[in-house]
Amino acid sequence: MDAETRTTRTVDGGDGGGAAGATMRALFIDAAETAAIREVPVPEPGADQVRLRVRHVGICGSDLHYYADGANGAFAVREPLIPGHELSATVDHDPAGRWEPGAPVTVHPARFGEADARFAEAPNLFAGGSYLGSASTWPHTQGALSELLVVGADMLRALPEGLSPRTAVLAEPLGVALHALTQARSVGAEFDGARVLVAGAGPIGLLAVAAACDAGAVVDACDVRDGPLRRARSQGAERVLRADREAPEAGAYDVVLECSAAPSSIGSALQAVRPAGVVVQVGMVPPERQSIALAPLIAREVRLVGAFRFVDEIDDAVELLARRPEIGEVITHEFPPERPEELFAAAADSEASGKVIASWS
């Protein structure tokens, strides 16, 4: 884990330089269904770092797995982990004076690994990188659910005037959705006027609906619950389908953005896309082997492409949120970090909730 993303966190009055012995609060996940707020010491940002005062943190599926299971796929919590990689904040202290105190920002949560010329345009695929709030590194890369957070100065993204910090917490997951569109375009897909199916209307799926609609597509959405489908319609989906009752029309879609990661949904996506169409696998599938019918992929020469996090689409996400603040309606629940059981329970209830966020008072 590199220096910028270690748990270098601090609290003071915002005038730079933490007082000796000062502490701050952070939410730690210790094991499955075990989380607590603790006081932690105040460290100082280095010359290439900036200390932020965290405002809002979105709960991602990975955060939910760390809390519910004590692991996210193969990555188990081996030391107390501060979750969170979706955030908005204000600048607390920049030792180099590049950022004014109080400046509103969001954060690109990745530190890309060792450069590899084979995919120089895809640094998200470099080996050895890190991501805020992740147990994939050792020591773990601590996340944003703390009162203050120290990150590399190059990870900051300024918020334009008029974009609220509450809405800006969606920049990271919207960047994931926009990267799915980038991946579709990389294999020849176009979105203006295209028919697009978003399979799975959880938070990423809802943001994929918004992103595809903004790109000019006619978007349908499918899910197995009514709540997510209502929210998909509010983000611009023209038609919504209960996937457990009605299969999407076979061969009807130019692009399918598969956001659920359910094997049955992946199979349906391959059926729903047209010949020579594009399926983007956005939902992160578990590491276990799964059975998926691939005959349509072969017989109709479907282009299947993966989408992993994003490269720099967070910049486009900030612009899109500023231009279309109604995307902020994806946020349905807000809790203080001091109530972790309620926070994670709400995030797990996909019928009732879209994006759930934690907000420091």
pLDDT digits (tens, 9 = 90+) for 314-357: 999 999 999 999 999 999 999 999 999 999 999 999 999 999 99
Tokens at residue 298, please?
């072969």
Domains observed in the chain: 3-158 (3.90.180.10), 174-306 (3.40.50.720)
> What pLDDT shows up at residue 3?
35
pLDDT score for 6? 36
At residue 18, the pLDDT reads 54
How much is the pLDDT for 128?
94
For the beta carbon of residue 48, count every other beta carbon within 10 angstroms. 12
CA distance 117 to 96: 32
Q: Please name the residue that has the structure tokens 């334009």.
A: 160
**Paired residues of 89 in beta bridges:** 54, 105
pTM, two decimal places: 0.93
Residue 287 has a pLDDT of: 78
Coil, strand or helix: which one is 184? helix
Render pLDDT for 125-154 as a digit per residue (tens, 0 to 9).
Answer: 999 999 999 999 999 999 999 999 999 999
Q: At residue 20, what are phi and psi to the nearest 5 degrees? A: -60, 130
Q: Which residues make Cβ contacts (< 8 Å) with residue 318, sequence separation at least 6?
A: 106, 157, 159, 160, 163, 168, 171
Contact yes or no for 174/200 (Cβ under 8 A): no
Q: Which tokens go with 299?
A: 């017989």
pLDDT at 12: 34
Q: What is the pLDDT of residues 244-298, one digit of tens each?
A: 999 999 999 999 999 999 999 999 999 999 999 999 999 988 878 888 989 999 9
Percent of the chain with pLDDT over 70: 94
Assign 64 a pLDDT band (cuts: 50, 70, 90): very high
169 is written with which tokens? 């917490």
The mean pLDDT value of the chain amounts to 93
User: Is 219 in contact with 209 (CB distance < 8 Å)?
Assistant: yes
Give the per-residue pLDDT at 272: 98
